[in-house]
Amino acid sequence: MSMNGKTAVVTGSNSGIGLGVARELARAGADLVINSFTDRDEDHALAAELGKEFGVAVRYIQADLSKAEEARALIEKAGVCDILVNNAGIQHVAPIDEFPLEKWDAIIAINMSSAFHTTAAALPMMRKAGWGRVVNIASAHGLTASPYKSAYVAAKHGVVGLTKVTALETAQEPITCNAICPGYVLTPLVEAQIPDTMKKYGMERDEVIKKVMLERQPSKEFATVEQIGGTTVFLCSDAAAQITGTTISVDGGWTAL
């Protein structure tokens, strides 16, 4: 489906899944607003490169999504938001009784509350345009739990709940809201953990990936950023117009276990 004439705002999109999603939306013809909390020359250069590669308009807008007012300002500055992809997220791993308060607050703010603020700011724009799609990048951890990931699991379950409420509040309008729940995705962040994990377990790369990192992913394959992007494009298509308030797992069977 062509998304010519639509503008997509993708949060946390200067790397990883967000960038992969932005690329697939641009490939489908959407203009883009990409975002992160940094304001480096390379962030703006990335926007220019994407625009050139796909022949669409791409703007980079800096916003620190740990702050409510900046999350809302991102959408206001975008000015138009037909497709909103809430993707920005961070992780911290520690037992509950040792979990640093500032990490809990940051994860809840960035991974969950920012999606509330951007959605609140974007819905009036979607209503005015008479069409809208909200795609929340949750996680297999929005449906299941792992020890030591209290803030992340709480935030991602929260995002799944917010997805359902947004869908119900827009059910009689041409607006949908769904969550994608990826399993382990090979992003630069995950790639960077491989050498250390190889050392820690004294294993080769393939063994570390299959036995340690993908222990809970029955396919024993990473999901790719292109697959998450393709799923987003599908959720924005006419075929998905009656899909709302649900989760789509892209997790190699993780949540079937």
CB nearer to ligand NAD: pick between 125 and 155:
155
Say which of 60, 148, 152, 184 is annotated catalytic.
152
**Shortest distance, position 12 Cβ to ligand NAD, whole Å:** 2
Among 3, 6, 10, 12, binds ligand NAD (CB under 6 A): 12
Among 7, 66, 150, 247, binds ligand NAD (CB under 6 A): 66
With CB under 6 A as the contact rule, which of the stretches 1-9, 13-21, 207-215, 240-248 interacts with ligand NAD? 13-21
* Nearest-angstrom CA–CA distance, 85 and 121: 13
CB nearer to ligand NAD: pick between 66 and 231:
66
CB nearer to ligand NAD: pick between 116 and 184:
184
Q: Per rule CB under 6 A, is residue 32 in the interface with ligand NAD?
A: no
Among 15, 144, 227, 246, binds ligand NAD (CB under 6 A): 15
- The pair of structure tokens assigned to 132 is 């809208």
Q: Give one DSSP letter per residue of the chain, joined into a string.
A: ---TT-EEEESS-SSHHHHHHHHHHHHTT-EEEEEES---HHHHHHHHHHHHHHTS-EEEEE--TTSHHHHHHHHHHH---SEEEE---------GGG--HHHHHHHIIIIIIHHHHHHHHHHHHHHHHT-EEEEEE--GGGTS--TT-HHHHHHHHHHHHHHHHHHHHTTTTTEEEEEEEE-SB--HHHHTTHHHHHHHHT--HHHIIIIIITTT-TT-S-B-HHHHHHHHHHHTSGGGTT--S-EEEESTTGGG-
CB burial string 23-38: b at 16+ within 10 A, e below: bbbbbbbbbbbbbbbe
Instruction: Using CB under 6 A, count the residues that bind ligand NAD.
Output: 27
* Nearest-angstrom CA–CA distance, 153 and 146: 8
- The pair of structure tokens assigned to 94 is 């520690």
Positions 161 through 200 that interact with ligand NAD (CB under 6 A): 182, 184-185, 187-190
Among 81, 83, 88, 177, binds ligand NAD (CB under 6 A): 88
Please indicate whether residue 148 is annotated as part of the active site: no
With CB under 6 A as the contact rule, which of the stretches 47-55, 86-94, 199-207, 230-238 interacts with ligand NAD? 86-94
**Shortest distance, position 109 Cβ to ligand NAD, whole Å:** 8
**Shortest distance, position 142 Cβ to ligand NAD, whole Å:** 8
* Nearest-angstrom CA–CA distance, 169 and 86: 18
Q: Per rule CB under 6 A, is residue 110 in the interface with ligand NAD?
A: yes
**Shortest distance, position 187 Cβ to ligand NAD, whole Å:** 4
Among 7, 87, 231, 249, binds ligand NAD (CB under 6 A): 87
- Contacts with ligand NAD by CB under 6 A lie at 12-18, 36-37, 64-66, 87-90, 110-111, 137, 139, 182, 184-185, 187-190
Positions marked active-site = 152
